[in-house]
């Protein structure tokens, strides 16, 4: 009975729906939260759904990781695609860089104005 | 009353449109079947089998086939740390606001710190043989320094001059290896060191060297980033 769950199309649909839910959580947080820290961290959560989707859609039940070990002694077509993993490695590092730069802007803004919430910002004119 | 009704009708219609769009998008995504025809990845695996002698194909894609991209990636990380230091390093004396006055942590960190650093170095050096590599090992080393910051408080600080020196020297080493490849093999990031056998520590040509430089650079950068973020309160 459990074999029907261990099929590649079923696992792909599970990964699709799960990463879509994570994307929704991140977007709802980024749109509805007023604290600047929470906005940036919600964007980071929304970004992580992309990582799961990219890696997960290249997962396949009958394939192994692209690493030669004692059991798998040579490269063959029985291995998953290594290119998405390398690209996601790049994306994770760039995500860290962008997140740290944004959080440093938040800290500098708080030091300059003493405000942290989006609905209290009025540097570019009156709010009302 | 009429305004309230208008807003509620607007909300209902917008949520209706959004739910229809979500259903359509999920339908498209779920019907998207990946037919594994001969792709770029299988070609790269076939090339990797007889050209680089690296056990980990992801490492050879990151540092050899896409090595120029990795150079740009490391540059983006450097620029980000540069921006953070411009924004946060206004005053010289900073206070560590995240330290715990915990005796168990203070004693245990002396035992744990060398083990974490050793594990990070292991992950960096074996990046072409096993899962892991420069970026992952660099972050592990930075987590060891984070533990020191949390436990020691203001007693432990790192000289930023030394961090900048290590970071820039490792970045220069990366470019130097790439230029040596250009001189010897007429190709930027070309492999000019004899490749050994699959599975040995000294194999893969320039790939372990590049990953070691990337690991040193990433660990110095993430440690500098942690220090900037953990000392943000000005001493008054």
Of B225, B222, B191, B211, nearest to B71 by C-alpha is: B211
Residue B194 clears pLDDT 70, i.e. is over it: yes
Task: Give Dmax over CA atoms of chain A in angstroms.
Answer: 69
Give CA separation, B168 vs A85, B190, B222, in Å. 27, 22, 14
Question: Which residues fall within 8 angstroms of residue B187, CB to CB, at 6 or more apart?
Answer: B181
Tokens encoding B101? 């006055």
Number of residues in chain A: 128
Residue A45 clears pLDDT 90, i.e. is over it: yes
Tell me the pLDDT tens digit for each residue of B97-120.
777 778 888 889 999 999 999 999
Q: Is the CB of residue A82 less than 8 Å from the CB of residue B61?
A: yes
Residue A127 clears pLDDT 70, i.e. is over it: no
Tell me the pLDDT tens digit for each residue of A8-33.
888 888 999 999 999 999 999 999 99
Question: Which residues fall within 8 angstroms of residue B154, CB to CB, at 6 or more apart?
Answer: B95, B96, B99
Tokens encoding B70? 């990795």
Contact A81 B228 (CB under 8 A): no
Contacts of B69 in chain A (CB under 8 A): 90
Tell me the pLDDT tens digit for each residue of B36-57.
565 677 778 888 877 777 888 8
DSSP B157: -
Residue B123 clears pLDDT 90, i.e. is over it: yes
Tokens encoding B28? 């498209």
* Residue B38: closest C-alpha in chain A: A77
pLDDT of residue B64: 87
CA angle B84, B168, B234 (to 5 degrees): 30
Contact B45 A82 (CB under 8 A): yes
pLDDT of residue A78: 81
Would you kindly state where each structural domain of chain B is located, as residue ranges? 1-33, 47-234
The interface predicted TM-score of the complex, written ipTM, equals 0.85
What crossing angle do the helices spanning B2-31 and A8-32 adopt, rounded to 10°?
Answer: 150
User: Does an H or E element contain B206, and which?
Assistant: none
The mean pLDDT of B203-220, rounded to a whole number, is 91
Burial call A6-28: b when 16+ CB within 10 Å, e when fewer: eeeeebbeebbeebbebbeebee
Task: Report all structural domains of chain A as residue ranges with CATH numbers, in order of start.
Answer: 2-61+78-120 (1.10.287.3510)
Contact B58 A86 (CB under 8 A): yes
Give CA separation, A16 vs A3, B36, B39, B136, B187, in Å. 20, 18, 22, 26, 41
Residue A1 clears pLDDT 70, i.e. is over it: yes
pLDDT of residue B29: 82
Tell me the pLDDT tens digit for each residue of B7-18.
788 888 888 998
SS3 of residue A79 by DSSP: strand
**Any chain A CB within 8 A of the CB of B95?**
no
Contact B34 A57 (CB under 8 A): yes
**Measured between alpha carbons, how far is A56 from A65 in angstroms, rounded to an integer?**
13
**Cβ count near A80 (within 10 Å):** 21
């Amino acid at each position: 009975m459990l074999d029907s769950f261990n099929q590649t199309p079923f696992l792909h649909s599970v990964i699709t729906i799960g990463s879509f839910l994570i994307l929704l959580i991140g977007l709802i947080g980024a749109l509805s939260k007023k604290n600047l820290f929470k906005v940036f961290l919600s964007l980071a959560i929304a970004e992580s759904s992309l990582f799961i989707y990219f890696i997960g859609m290249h997962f396949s039940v009958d394939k192994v990781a692209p690493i030669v070990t004692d059991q798998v002694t040579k490269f063959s077509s029985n291995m998953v695609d290594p290119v998405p993993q390398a690209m996601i490695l790049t994306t994770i590092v760039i995500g860290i860089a962008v997140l740290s730069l944004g959080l440093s802007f938040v800290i500098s803004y708080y030091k300059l104005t003493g405000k942290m919430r989006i609905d209290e910002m009025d540097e570019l004119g009156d709010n009302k | 009353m009429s305004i309230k009704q208008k807003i509620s009708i607007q909300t209902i219609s917008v949520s209706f449109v959004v739910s229809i769009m979500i259903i359509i998008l999920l339908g498209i995504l779920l019907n998207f079947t990946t037919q594994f025809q001969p792709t770029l990845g299988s070609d790269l695996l076939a090339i990797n089998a007889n050209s680089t002698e690296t056990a980990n194909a992801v490492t050879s894609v990151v540092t050899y086939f896409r090595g120029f991209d990795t150079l740009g990636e490391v540059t983006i990380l450097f620029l980000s740390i540069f921006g953070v230091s411009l924004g946060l390093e206004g005053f010289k004396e900073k206070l560590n606001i995240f330290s715990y006055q915990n005796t168990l942590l203070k004693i245990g960190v002396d035992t744990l710190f060398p083990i974490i650093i050793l594990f990070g170095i292991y992950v960096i050096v074996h990046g072409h043989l096993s899962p892991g590599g420069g970026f992952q090992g660099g972050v592990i080393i930075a987590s060891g320094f984070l533990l020191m910051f949390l436990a020691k408080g203001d007693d432990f600080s790192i000289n930023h001059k030394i961090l900048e020196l290590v970071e820039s020297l490792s970045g220069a080493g990366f470019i130097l290896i790439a230029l040596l490849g250009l001189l010897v093999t007429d190709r930027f990031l070309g492999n000019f060191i004899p490749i050994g056998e699959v599975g040995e520590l000294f194999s893969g040509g320039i790939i372990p060297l590049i990953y070691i430089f990337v690991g040193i650079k990433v660990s110095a950068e993430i440690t500098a980033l942690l220090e900037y973020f953990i000392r943000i309160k000005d001493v008054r």
